[in-house]
Structure 1
Amino acid sequence: MERVILLGATGSIGGSALDILRAHRDRFELVGVSGWGNKERLAEIASEFGPRYICLREESREFMSRFPGKEFLFGCGGLDQMAALTDADTVIMAVSGTAGLMPTLSAIRSGKRLLTANKESIVCAGEIIMDEAAARDTELVPLDSEHNAIFNLLTRIDPDTVSEITLTASGGPFREKPIDETVTLEQVLDHPTWDMGRYITANSATLMNKGFEVIEAHHLFAMEYEQIRVMIHPQSLVHGMVRTSDGSLYLSASPSDMRIPISLAMFFPGLPPQTGEPLALGGLTFDFADPDWVKFPMLGLAYECGKAGGLMPAALNAANETIVHAFLDGKVPFFRIPEMVADVLDGVTNKSAPSLDEILETDTRIRVVCDEMIGG
């Protein structure tokens, strides 16, 4: 029985992971769970799965009284503690944002198998995380559909023969629509193929989500940025491609269902039982196109920051997260997000090989700069 910690259980990734846990109770036991956004949903999960450990954003006597005998942890420190619990084998990291950085390191340092959808931690501190994982021979498996596709292809292909990898993107709601001052929140959140949280959906509308995935792929797969391509694929059926030195192109295709990459990660190195209906090729259309770099400048900005390295990816993440949340709160217009993020980054002094403290300090400082810009 594999003992599992699920951090971020009340979000969309957490919900898909729970579907896999529910379907395979003979193989997985949920021993710890966190969820900050929805206490009632967390209570339902705790009642159904009976985990020993529960992490809340803050202490709640009313909530705790409903689950006598459980061990409670609180806040960011609680996430770190839960990720390092000795009576667990695997951590599923479904926490979004930089709140996942320290729990990611805690899971690695405590020898856990880490299945992660927290791209921000790898974007901000990819070198540190991958060095720590390599030093401890940690099994780190990505959960995002694109990285999971590449990961599974690369386990079946001689890495010395790989010449490039390709991440696909649906193109979001503005693939064929203009981005201007008339864009509404409802339009931004109307993703054509995936059902995700508001922040990630907004990032998909700017292609910033794909930009973060490029930086993440650089670290996960030790690929140079010149070897990482992005292709617009509106059907969202092909999730990743690998080209080898002989010119052959290998691709991974499946329905747009996050339970598929999550189950592949949970059962790795084996294969899971079939999840949902298999992809039937008859009658399907597969379209591919290069991104519109002018309409979606955030993608190019991500490549620039990734290549610059050092503090720039962390600064990009902090600026984007703060300004996008301001848009979601109605404080800035959507079309200004790229301009505002670029203006903040122009004021960053970069440093190569920063320490973890320097990365966290940059994250904090950039958020303050953004708040002042938004407030002004």
Structure 2
Amino acid sequence: MKNLCILGCTGSIGCNVVEIVRRFPDRYRAIVLAAGDNVDLLCEQIVLLKPLVVILRTEAGALALKKSGFAQGIEILYGDAGYVAAATHPEVDTVVAAIVGAAGLLPTMAAVDAGKTLALANKESLVVAGGLLMPLARQRGVDILPVDSEHSAVFQCLSGQRERDVAKLLLTASGGPFRTRHKSSFKDIRPEDALAHPTWNMGKKISIDSATLMNKGLEVIEAMHLFSVPVEKIDVVVHPQSIVHSMVAFCDGTVMAQMGIPDMKGAIALALSWPDRLPLNLPLPDFSDLDMRMEAPDLERFPCLGLAFDAAREGGIFPAVLNAANEVAVDAFLQGRIPFTRISELIAETLMRTENRNVKDLEDLLQADAGARQTALSLICSF
């Protein structure tokens, strides 16, 4: 029996984890649930899973949960301190890091420092602080198991292989909802258009990142740290059907691919059960009627991906700046404050106004994150 902490339990990844816990009660118990502001859904999960501790983003959320009557006998915490307490709970074996954005960095770092096995869906932790997080994991003897379908695919393809034989990591991307849309009409894209992902059901922020291809750019940086490869050994391939989740090319010209229907439960279950596999009974792709297309990404139409590759090559604080500016830009687009085309422009301008520097510690990264957010917000106000 594994005791789990689910950071981001009411998000899309978190809800899938809850479903797996429900289906395999003899293998998993979710003793800590950390949510954002969705008190109603958290109450449903409390009834289902009966955790020992729950965490909300704000004090107001914690008070609302107390008043609901659903959390009697359960410890209720809130805020950053609550998330860190959740990630380091002494009875937790595995932490599922599924908080979206840089907000997941502190509890993820705390979980690794506490020696917890990490099922990682919060790619921003590695984007921002991979140079600190991965050495800490090695020092603590912590396993980091990827939850993103692309990194799970690479992880599976690399299993049993020699590092020196790896030629390329090939991360697949669906291309998002605007893969075939003419660039001249990008200025007219509305949030509801960008949220309509063609193959994956995801939260708002990740859906917008997928529409700009920034999500794939962040995954490139994540893969660098997770698999200890330089950015020059990572390529992105657009694959609209999302059946091939990613591939690894080897020095002899062999390419190994991991395939399956586009359903996050597969990658999540593997991260929780590895080296076992759970009998999820997901359907296989219909190979008798499968038209699998692949193409190169168009960096002119989707400049966010190019910006991510540039930040990866530059290193230092630039990945953290890229991520922070992107979070501000995506939020502004969802609020209707900037057009879709302004997202990449805002990120590029923030990077141009930032002087890169080496990273000494976590405080350096937190300062870079805060500075980039301030710069990006000032650019929005002047727009």
Counterpart Cα distance in 2 of 1:200 and 1:62: 28
Which one of the candidate residues 92, 95, 99 is aligned to 2:96?
Answer: 92
Shifted more, 323-332 versus 66-75: the winner is 66-75
Q: Does 1:244 align with 2:250?
A: yes
1:63 corresponds to which residue?
A: 65
Q: 1:286 maps to which residue? A: 292
State how far apart, in whole Å, the 1-side matches of 2:168 and 2:359 are.
Answer: 25
- Structure 1 CA distance, aligned partners of 2:9 and 2:256? 33
Counterpart secondary structure, 2:100? coil
> Structure 1: which 4+ aligned runs deviate by more than 4 Å?
none
Map 1:178-327; keep pairs closer than 5 Å: 178-179=182-183, 180-327=186-333
TM-score by length of structure 1 reads: 0.98
Indicate yes or no: 2:40 matched with 1:40: yes
Identity over the aligned pairs, expressed in percent?
40
Q: How big is the shift at 1:279? A: 2.5
2:124 alignment counterpart: 120
User: Cα deviation per residue 1:131-159 (whole Å; 9 max; x = unaligned)?
Assistant: 10011111100100000110111113222
**CA–CA separation in structure 2 for the residues paired with 1:335 and 1:11:** 27
Please give the alpha-carbon distance, in whole angstroms, between the structure 1 residues aligned to 2:165 and 2:368. 38
CA contact (8 A) 2:359 2:365 kept: no
Q: How does 1:138-177 map to 2 (within 5 A)?
A: 138-177=142-181
How far residue 375 of structure 1 moved from its aligned partner, in angstroms, is: 1.7
Contact 1:259 1:275 in 2 (8 A): no
> Per-residue displacement from partner, 1:70-101 (whole Å, max 9, x unpaired)?
11111011101110111110000110111111
Q: CA deviation at 1:62?
A: 4.0
Q: Confirm whether residue 23 of structure 1 aligns to residue 23 of structure 2.
A: yes
Q: Is the 8 Å Cα contact of residues 97 and 108 (structure 2) preserved in structure 1?
A: yes
Query: What amino acid is aligned across from residue 203 of structure 2 in structure 1?
Result: G
Encode CA deviations 1:282-327: one digit per residue, 9 max, x unaligned: 1111111011111111111101101111100000000011011000
Q: CA deviation at 1:58?
A: 2.4
In structure 2, the CA distance between the partners of 1:354 and 1:275, relative to structure 1 (3 Å rule), is: farther
The answer to whether 1:338 aligns with 2:333 is: no
- Correspondence list, 1:334-373, <5 A: 334-373=340-379
- Whether contact under 8 Å (1:311, 1:354) holds in the other structure is no
Q: Which runs of 5+ in 2 are unaligned?
A: none
Alignment partner, residue 4 of structure 1: 4
Q: Name the CA distance, whole Å, in 2 between partners of 1:314 and 1:256.
A: 29
Work out the CA distance in 1 between the residues paired with 2:176 and 2:58: 35
SS at match of 1:3: strand
Residues 104 and 124 in structure 2, CA contact (< 8 A), matched pair in contact too: yes
Pairwise CA RMSD: 1.1
Report the TM-score when normalising by structure 2: 0.96
Local SS of the residue matching 1:172: coil
Runs of 5+ unmatched residues, structure 1: none
